[in-house]
Amino acid sequence: MATRTHFKLSPSAAALALLFTAPGWAQTASPTQRLDAVTVTGKAAPVLDADHADVGGLGLPLAKTPQSVTVLGADLLAATASSSLSQAIKLDASLADSYNTTGYIEGLSVRGFLLDQGNNFMRNGLPVSNYAPIALENKERIEVLKGVAGLQSGVSAPGGLVNFVTKTPQRDAFTTATIGADGNGGSKVHLDTNTAWGAAGVRVNLAAEDLRTQFDRADGKREFASVALATMATPATKLSADLEYHHKRQSSVPGLGLLDANGDGVGDTLPASNYSRLNLNNQIWSQPFEATSTNAQFAIDHQVNADWQAHLGLSTQRTVIQDRLAFPDGCSNAANYVYPGLCANGDVDIYDYRSEGEERSTWAWDAKLQGKLAALGVQHRVSLGLSGRSTRTDLAPKQAYNYVGSTNIDKPVALPGDGTPLDLNTNSRERAVDASASLVSDLSSNVQSFVGFRTSQLNRSSERSDGSRAIAFDQTVTTPWAGLSWSPIASTMLYTSWGQGAELEAVPNRPTKFVNAGQVLPALKSEQTELGVKWQPNARVLVSAAAFNIEKPYADDQATTSGIPLRVAGGKTARHRGLELAAVGQMDAQLSLQASLTMIDARYTTAVDPALVGQLVTNVPKTKASLFADYKIAALPGLSVNGLLTADSGKTVTADGSVALPSSWQLDAGLRYQNRMIGKVTQWNLFAENLTDRSYWREAPTQYWGGTYLFPSTPRTVRARVTVEF
């Protein structure tokens, strides 16, 4: 298939572009008082000036926080042309893909642990489901807390916590308009405008995108709109609201699998890495994955007095998904049925999967009281919180997952579709109420202690769509955290911390697969110890190092005489030990840098199957590096060049470690030029992803049902963008 290199605007993008010719109403409105100032064009370049993050929950500068936190700001995301979560996470070596593919929901692993889509993500500090495509147009930054997050979120997977922070109204009025295109023929328009309606500040983001990819039959469209409002109800009370709508429709691209070269029924050989344009979801009856999501958040912030602040936040989220594709899985064309994997000749079975009208909703609230007090001759910072969350999943009565034949990765075959819904779905409910507290104490001028805990009372229930296999349970879990820091000099901090996280698990409600189907398993607690150092040579640079040890127990399956396994809690334990190094900031007036290196040894220390003990956890790189640099050309004012180099090695594919992905690297590069055109500040951007057009397998996740999938690198893709500030 020839690569498309034409650039054009889609009808939806062209319609939105008409807004750019409207009068500059945002400039004439009177600025709203008591809102933050902003210099838009200055932030369009990667200034890397983040010094705080909300995700840690301690209210301290990053340089004084005894935690590992990464902040990916809008300026950095724009400089690297990042329009998805999988593109953004290349900027930190501790973050990695997990079953990330074109047209589908994106997953994320941190320190080698897969984050839970329902419990490890936040939006402005409130829980949200990540089971929907993410729009970055209205995101000011992505904050990632690395490690266990029991204090911050209670019941959640270890590895990390992600907080999406949205753009807020600013004091000065402005409008920026962006038009972009890529070498596949895709196009996008984006409007970001800030103004005032009376005493209220208003921030509006609108976007329309025509999605074009290198894959066959994987094009799509998306529309996005958001409104943020803020006003000072009294000199001490701020009211704010944030509303968001996102619709995306695009065919998803499934992964491949290992080839069964020796005919024993299990894939054992990597295919050639030249399948970066192959889409097995290209049957004539294939339908696109479609998601429509809405978010609404409201907050009240009140300054009680000079030392105490109160906050109340409310949020609701609703997502409707049509999950449909021709799904390749296993191979029945060999003497021994192959699973997981493909037949040696590249044959693979195709299933017509259709799950229509999946509806997920989340309600959440959070009340906090934070302040300072003196006791026993020591200054303390106190945070007290009470929060609640309610989620529900309502699916259609039945879904389709029907075998329709076999195709081949080298010679695809047209197959008949069969979308008859035959399989019952499972609906679920979850409610949680959390109480939390933390105390930061200045034990001396250079020593601080940190203690905190969160207690979560959780209720979960589920049942099949016909009312069968109903289960329900209640459980209360407490997750403590503690730390100690020492600053021998003002620019340096050494710290140690310890904490726990917790996860609740139930056996899948499938009697043909598990003896104890539907049984609730006891809560499993993960535990982390971390040692770190942070050095801030100047106000714009932060250098850090952290060594960590995380132990996480998993449920595992025991064999029974019936031939059907028994799933038991804590059947296996994984231990992830690692070292993270990072340097972020403006090295001088010309050079900005975001660099990180992560080394992880992730192994199973206990398991029901003795052969698994000592084996590496699959799809976790032993070593990963990321280096982004932006350099301003002094001889040509307004011109800068940047590059992003990523590399990793040591990812195993199979549980026994016999198959591993080859070491890989990728270079992205960009140019940026800022000038004035017709009196308007204009920025021109050109960015090339995978500049050298390298082809390699970038990840190989094994899913909870046992399937292992391979995802290729993105071929060289050129993106161009022009932004005008009115």
The pLDDT tens digits of the residues spanning 458-476 come to 888 888 888 888 888 888 9
Answer yes or no: are the C-beta atoms of 193 and 203 closer than 8 Å. yes
User: Do the strands 160-166 and 121-123 form a parallel or antiparallel pair, or are they unpaired?
Assistant: parallel
Q: What percent of the chain has pLDDT over 70?
A: 94
pLDDT tier at 577 (50, 70, 90 boundaries)? very high
Q: Which residue has the tokens 């933390």?
A: 438
Q: Which domains does the chain have, with CATH numbers?
A: 11-725 (2.40.170.20)
From residue 418, give the alpha-carbon distance in Å to each of 290, 351, 422, 506.
19, 8, 11, 32
pLDDT category at 188 given cuts 50, 70, 90 is very high
Residues 542 and 581: their CA atoms lie apart, in Å, by 11
Helix, strand, coil share of the chain (percent; to 5): 5, 55, 40
**Residues 618-629: tens digit of each pLDDT:** 999 999 999 999
Task: With a cut of 60, say whether residue 198 has pLDDT above it.
Answer: yes
Mean pLDDT to the nearest integer, 630-650? 96
CA distance 295 to 205: 14
**Structural tokens at position 197:** 């309606």
Helix or strand (DSSP H, E) at 176 = strand 174-182
| Residues contacting residue 300 through CB under 8 Å, at least 6 positions apart | 237, 238, 239, 310, 311, 312, 313
Burial class from Cβ neighbours inside 10 Å (0-12, 13-18, 19+) for residue 30 reads exposed
- 79-122: per-residue pLDDT in tens? 999 999 999 999 999 999 989 999 999 999 999 999 989 889 99
- Residue 521's contacts (CB-CB under 8 Å, 6 or more residues apart) are 504, 505, 506, 507, 555, 567, 568, 569
Mean pLDDT check: name the lowest of 19-23, 37-41, 141-145, 293-297. Answer: 19-23
pLDDT at res. 300: 98
pLDDT-based confidence at residue 43 (cuts at 50, 70, 90): low
Give the angle 206-209-213 at the CA atoms, nearest 5°: 155
Q: DSSP string covering 285-309, please?
A: T---EEEEEEEEEEEEEEE-SSSEE
Within a 10 A sphere around the Cβ of 562, how many other Cβ atoms? 8
Are the beta carbons of 32 and 200 closer than 8 angstroms? yes
CA 518 to each of CA 8, 165, 238, 394, 513: distance values in angstroms, whole numbers, following the listed order = 52, 37, 46, 18, 11
Place of tokens 């600013």: 170
**What pLDDT was estimated at residue 544?**
97
What does the pLDDT average to over 555-579?
A: 92
- pLDDT for 8: 43
**pLDDT the model gives residue 24:** 38
Per-residue pLDDT at 674: 92
Residue 472 is predicted with a pLDDT of 84
Distance CA 666, CA 689 (A): 8
Give mean pLDDT, residues 649-672. 96
Q: What is the DSSP string of 78-126?
A: HHTT--SHHHHGGGSTTEEESS--TTS---EEETTEEPPTTTSEEETTE
Task: List the beta bridge partners of residue 354.
Answer: 324, 400
**Residue 509: what pLDDT?**
65
Closest by Cα among 644, 597, 155, 217 to 389: 155
Q: What is the pLDDT of residue 411?
A: 93
- Provide the pLDDT confidence category of residue 78 given band limits of 50, 70 and 90: very high
Q: Given pLDDT bands bounded at 50, 70 and 90, which one contains residue 157?
A: confident
pLDDT of residue 352: 97
Q: Are strands 680-689 and 664-677 parallel, antiparallel or unpaired?
A: antiparallel
The overall average pLDDT reported for the chain is: 91
Q: Of 508, 277, 322, give the one whose Cα is nearest residue 412.
A: 277
With 0.95 as the threshold, say if the pTM is over it: no
**What is the reported pLDDT for 11?**
44
Mean pLDDT to the nearest integer, 4-15: 42
* Confidence band of 3 (pLDDT split at 50, 70, 90): very low
Specify the higher pLDDT residue, 385 or 27: 385
- How confident is the model over 213-218, as a mean pLDDT? 90
Other Cβ atoms less than 10 A from the Cβ of 605: the count is 13
Position 44 scores a pLDDT of 55
- Residue 518, pLDDT above cutoff 80: no
**pLDDT band at residue 26 using 50, 70 and 90 as cut-offs:** very low
Region for residue 89 given its phi and psi (left: phi exceeds 0; alpha: psi -120 to 50; beta: otherwise): alpha
Mean pLDDT of 680-687: 94
pLDDT digits (tens, 9 = 90+) for 321-350: 999 999 999 999 999 999 999 999 999 999
Instruction: Say if CB 147 and CB 528 are below 8 A apart.
Output: yes
Is the pLDDT assigned to residue 31 strictly greater than 60? no
pLDDT of residue 42: 46
Residue 511 pLDDT class (50, 70, 90 cuts): confident
pLDDT, average across residues 396-417: 95
Q: Answer yes or no: are the C-beta atoms of 383 and 368 closer than 8 Å.
A: yes
